[in-house]
Chains A and B, each alone.
Chain A
Amino acid sequence: MRTILILIKKEFLQVFRNPLLLSILVVAPLVEFMIFPFCADYEIKVLNIAFIDNDRSQISKDIIHSFNSSEIFVSKGLLDNKEEADEMMKHDQIDLLIEIPINFENNLYNNENTQIAVTANAINSVKAGIGTGYVQEIIGGYMQDFAAMHTPANMQAAISSANETAAQQKQGQRQAAAVPSAPIRTTNAAKVNISNIYWYNEQMNYKNLIVPGILVILVTLIGCYVTALNLVREKEIGTIEQVNVTPIRKWQFLLGKMIPFWLLGMAEFGAGLIIMKFIFGISVQGSLPLLLGITAIYLFVMLGLGFFISSVSENQLQSMFIVLFLFIVFVLLSGVFTPTEGMPGWAHKINYLNPMSFYIEVIKKIILKGSAFESVMTETIVLSVMAVIINTGAVVSYREASK
């Protein structure tokens, strides 16, 4: 017991004397919390839009006018021809182009299919997707009103959008293929009104997703990165040899390393929760002890992984690269910032090995949804099993390496 206590004391002394490590511990969470949630944002606030009106009718004017009432769209005016529009898109002056064809109004009144072409700059595919979505919504809304006023007319308006790839844009082969898709049956649409309610995140606030995600990254960084560097450093400066000749047992040494970093990780997590509450106004919906308990288990997984990495690497550089590699894979697969639903099957299978993906589930469920233990039981069991396996592996490989 005295042995483990002095090991812990030694570790804390070293941490608090290492200005670099200390600044990582203090500055990293602050920077991540203060910058990320405001920057990593999928909300599109401004879309520059231009129009080509080949019809010059009342309806086409009305449609164009309807975009003015939106706060998102900033009109860059009516253009005369496609070439001008191409030029503007090439220079990033417009994000979207709407082309209304000749005889648009006539066709509508005559009950014939007609199309509006929407061209989006898809270099930023998210922006293009959301932009065309908004356009459909606005034009669809207008068509609903129009249909309500002209009930006899059974009209279809099809809006199609052609998202351009970056490659096409480079070659200047910009073509807005006006393929009719998802025609809106205005008569039906007039009757059915869809209203959306977003549960657990009512304002669809992206921060609610990203802030818990940062919490996960923080805990992972402290747990895995710092410990992976720590043990391998003792190898580099040779202190591990000096410790190995003492009668101290391997598990005592590892425990003496784990407890300090486990405590640091928990402290960081606590600080993260406080920042989350008082700066972003996200409070934990579920049980706090449950959240802390599962975080404690997750930290042990990460600590074990960190020690495993440092016992198989020769120097800090090697372990840094391994952690960096794993970290990127973990983050991209876990669903911290991107939804996992779109991933192919094999990626889902890999995710069964990804502790971060289980932990982010727990975090989202407990913090945002207020889930009870029953709904996070699977994740808890998986993380516990992972903790046991990885720590056993760490002890074994550490023994192998030093024997």
Chain B
Amino acid sequence: MSVSAISIKGVNKTYEGKIEALKDINLDVEEGEVFGLVGPDGAGKSTLFNILTTLLLPDSGQIKVFLMDAVRDYKSIRQIIGYLPGTFSLYPDLSVQENLDFFAVMYKSDIEENMSLIEPIWKQISPFKDRKAGKLSGGMKQKLALCCALIHRPSILFLDEPTTGVDPVSRKEFWDILKSIRQQNITVVVSTPYMDEATRCDRIALIQDGRIIGINPPQTFINNFKGKLYTFKSENIFSLLKVMEQCPLNCNYYPYGEHCHVAFYEDMQEALPKFEAFLQEHHQTYETITPIDPSVEDCFIEIVTHSN
């Protein structure tokens, strides 16, 4: 059996004695996989990241990174991890090249030696290597930060919401880069609030209110979706939301972008006509109700509502 890159057992973290940021976290990350930590803002993703990157101590529980204890052996762990924090945190008044040089020395690493690893990314930003890091565009900043985090060829790369606030094209590009990093046998742990990105991970952990509510490959989550999902367009989502509170059917309704999603837990032969009758009775206008495959977000919502 292969060694777990990360093994977390029963980790708790409370801020200022009352805010429970993490509650009994248990998870394993396999070596060489892209592991996603998916959850809304405030779910505890960054806290878990800070603990894994040895920046924060857990209140209780055990964390092992390649069999090293995160509390006791934090110095050795820092040698083998790369970290891309949630906010841009390179020196804005140093140039691109100076930032890379600086972090190479901080990690006691050699740029030449590891150039092969960062080459594809570095090629894109090297035309600006004399520009101050603070003057780069958002996507460029992110690439530079990635170079700095990879310059010592880490065994694990942690990325805390790397695509938050990045445009869709750059986001796609960024995920392609992550795939290529993974091919270099680097384990990638990435957090994201975007559920659509979750499908790009090998496995994901859904996190909500400091608790992990499920760990699976994205497809498994989708296969395990219990309800029958339908989508339709409505003109007044808000009034529909109120009306749905009185719906006699066993279903779960929520707005999904500009559409409405309804997950039914009924025999659809009977339920669908009943549902349409219910909507008409309450004077709701809607377009055709069509069945749809669930996304990770639908799975997340199902798990959250069912656990309540």
Contact = CB atoms under 8 A, between A and B. Distances in A.
Interface string B23-67: 000000000000000000000000000000111010000000000
Interface in A245-269: 245-248
A244 B103 CA distance: 11
A18 interface: yes
A403 B132 CA distance: 30
B136 interface: no
Q: Is the interface of A mostly helix, strand, loop or mixed?
A: helix
Interface residues of B, number: 28
A17 interface: yes
Interface of A: 2-3, 6, 10, 13-14, 17-18, 237-248, 402-403
Contacts of B93: 13-14, 17-18
Given A6-B106, A242-B89, 6 more contacts: A2-B105, A14-B91, A237-B92, A241-B89, A246-B78, A246-B107
A241 B108 CA distance: 17
A6 B101 CA distance: 9
A247 B90 contact: no
B94 A13 contact: yes
Contacts of B92: 237
Interface stretch (B79-87, B166-174, B192-200): B79-87
Contacts of B89: 237-242
B189 to A, nearest CB: 13
Contacts of A243: 106
A247 B106 CA distance: 7
Contacts of A3: 105-106, 108
A247 B78 contact: yes
A6 B55 contact: no
A239 B55 contact: no
Which 4 A-B pairs give the minimum distances between C-beta atoms?
A238-B89, A246-B106, A6-B105, A245-B83
Contacts of B274: none
Contacts of B55: 241, 244-245, 402
Contacts of B98: 10, 13
B148 A242 contact: yes
Given A247-B79, A247-B107, A402-B55, A242 B90 contact: yes
Contacts of A13: 93-94, 98
A402 B103 CA distance: 19
